[in-house]
Amino acid sequence: MTPFSPRILATGLAVSGLAFGVPRTLHAQERPAIRQLGPVQATTTESLGQVANVRALSDGRLLINDVASRRVLLVDSAMKVLSVVADSTPSTANAYGPRTGSLIAYRGDSTLFVDAASLSMLVIDPAGKIARVMSVPRSQDAMMLAAGGLGGAYYHDGHLIYRGMPQMQMRMGPPSGGGGGVPQLPQQPDTMAIVRVNLQSRQLDTVGFVKIPKTNTNMSRSDDGMISVSIEVNPLPVVDEWAVTSKGDVALIRGRDYHVDWMNPAKQWRSSPKIPFDWKRLTDDDKVKLIDSVKAIRDRQAAANPGQGQQMAQAFSSAMGGGAAGGGGAPQVVMRFEMRGGGAGGPTQSPQVAPPQINYVSPSDLPDYQPPFFATSARPDADGNIWVRTIPTKPQPAGSVYDVINDKGEAVDRVLVPENRTIIGFAPGGVVFMAVRDSGAFRIERARVVK
């Protein structure tokens, strides 16, 4: 995760969806009862950093993408480490790379590992060995292919399907104040395309569009040359989710009224009915309390991590000095910065950037109904369903409740995942893999949905 990723900027509360004028019929429909996830069957013993995603193989083995330690591990069905597939040790031939990567299920039990820094994809064979190297289909999309936290990328029938990223160039304005110009910021889009590229022909087509979280960023330069950054965040934006099922259907989950638009592998579209949800209206007082609560959470995070602001400033400074925005993670958009000055052929210098100031939108800009799910809450399982982590509107047991949506767009189940656990992958037969933070490190647990 980059120091200035949208997840940090929105303090983990950037959400997907908005309901306007919710039909009365939705309130009358019953949702499935909440039930517990089955007991943990196995747990890793290896100390892990932050795990971005996993890839389950057909014989029970598991590839683990440990982005914090920059390594890929292969573990057996008992979650014992069998081998290190890729790591960041300079002496190894299986280098992970300087940025985070992502695992993509490929043909059979083979797997793609996307290395955005080298614009390449390592093909990991079923034995856990790097068999060959492929180039990414489009260099400008390498970061999105490696961004597991933003929906990731999926392979089906010779195609990679992923969320595209527009190339937004930001140039420095005319010199002013203490020298150098103020960055001229492009308008950030509030929609992104889901694209599909043929790995043989490299032909790309657009599947559809989804709404994404949007932040407004302003920059100014003082007389001493210091650049100030102000970021306005809406913690409750109107956005969508998306996923690709194990059958190859692309699902665009609409947060406005909680229904799914589907495209099958033959590029035929269909829409499913609205999914029942306990819509909760937000009063003006509720909106004020929400903004105040988000500010309080942000203040506590800043107090617990006093260096975070400086990390964000360094990231902006590095980007404006010619580096690619994003560092080791996945921002919402890629911005290229070009500095003027220093004479023709002269050196480019990174400007000094003050720690960004985080602001929030007016309470009146928040939706009138609490949305059904947060951003980056949808994951497809290995049995043709999509799991969506929902926002509780009524008292519920501790943990996270997921709507399990079948290929008809129906919520056929609601599963409670225990507290302090995040789903990071699935295997066939209702198997669920969860990341658990334990004393600063992570472990992975395997459980199964009880029928």
* 441-448: strand order across its sheet: 42-43, 441-448, 431-438, 421-427
What's the domain count of the chain?
A: 1
Reported as a pLDDT band with limits 50, 70 and 90, residue 322 is very low
- Whether the per-residue pLDDT at 4 is higher than 50: the answer is no
pLDDT tens, position by position, 107-131: 999 999 999 889 999 999 999 999 9
**Token pair of 201 as six digits:** 């022909």
Residue 369 lies in a domain: yes
CA-based nearest residue to 276, from 261, 257, 251, 250: 257
pLDDT tens, position by position, 263-290: 999 999 999 999 999 999 999 999 999 9
Residue 1 lies in a domain: no
pLDDT tens, position by position, 25-70: 444 458 999 999 999 999 998 889 999 899 999 999 999 999 999 9
pLDDT tens, position by position, 380-417: 999 999 999 999 988 999 999 999 999 999 999 999 99
Residue 438 lies in a domain: yes
Mean pLDDT value across residues 339-349: 44
Domain of residue 90 covers: 6-448
User: How high is the pLDDT of residue 399?
Assistant: 95
The structure tokens 């889901």 sit at: 194
- Whether the per-residue pLDDT at 418 is higher than 60: the answer is yes
User: How high is the pLDDT of residue 9?
Assistant: 34
Q: How far apart are CA 29 and CA 32, in angstroms?
A: 10
Q: How far apart are CA 237 and CA 213, in angstroms?
A: 6
Residue 104 lies in a domain: yes
Cα–chain-centroid distance for residue 52? 9
pLDDT tens, position by position, 178-212: 445 666 666 778 889 999 999 999 999 999 999 98
Letter string b/e over residues 292-327, b meaning 16 or more CB atoms within 10 A of that residue's CB: eebeeebeeeeeeeeebbeebbbbbbbbbeeebbbb
- Whether the per-residue pLDDT at 374 is higher than 90: the answer is no
Confirm if 134 and 125 have CB atoms less than 8 A apart: no
- Whether the per-residue pLDDT at 71 is higher than 50: the answer is yes
Residue 301 lies in a domain: yes
Which CATH number do you get for residue 314?
Answer: 2.120.10.30
Residue 334 lies in a domain: yes
Distances (CA, A) of 21 to 7, 101, 257, 393: 28, 41, 9, 17
Full-model pTM: 0.82
Average pLDDT, the chain: 82
CA-based nearest residue to 111, from 119, 101, 121: 121
- Whether the per-residue pLDDT at 164 is higher than 60: the answer is yes
Alpha helices, DSSP H, located in 275-404: 284-304, 308-320
- Whether the per-residue pLDDT at 347 is higher than 80: the answer is no
Reported as a pLDDT band with limits 50, 70 and 90, residue 305 is confident
pLDDT tens, position by position, 206-242: 999 999 888 888 887 777 778 888 889 889 887 899 9
Reported as a pLDDT band with limits 50, 70 and 90, residue 343 is very low
Reported as a pLDDT band with limits 50, 70 and 90, residue 339 is very low
How many C-beta atoms surround the C-beta of residue 220 within 10 A? 14
Distances (CA, A) of 318 to 5, 101, 327, 331, 337: 15, 21, 9, 15, 9
Residue 115 lies in a domain: yes
User: How high is the pLDDT of residue 19?
Assistant: 36
Beta strands, E only, 361-407: 369-370, 373-380, 386-390, 400-405
Mean pLDDT value across residues 370-386: 93
Confirm if 351 and 225 have CB atoms less than 8 A apart: yes
Q: How far apart are CA 396 and CA 251, in angstroms?
A: 28
- Whether the per-residue pLDDT at 81 is higher than 60: the answer is yes
Confirm if 233 and 360 have CB atoms less than 8 A apart: yes
User: How high is the pLDDT of residue 216?
Assistant: 83
pLDDT tens, position by position, 151-162: 679 999 999 999
Q: How far apart are CA 88 and CA 78, in angstroms?
A: 25
Residue 395 lies in a domain: yes
- Whether the per-residue pLDDT at 335 is higher than 80: the answer is no
- Whether the per-residue pLDDT at 20 is higher than 50: the answer is no
Distances (CA, A) of 243 to 80, 255, 311, 317, 369: 30, 14, 32, 34, 24
Reported as a pLDDT band with limits 50, 70 and 90, residue 171 is low
User: How high is the pLDDT of residue 168?
Assistant: 56
Q: How far apart are CA 138 and CA 170, in angstroms?
A: 21
Amino acid at 302: A
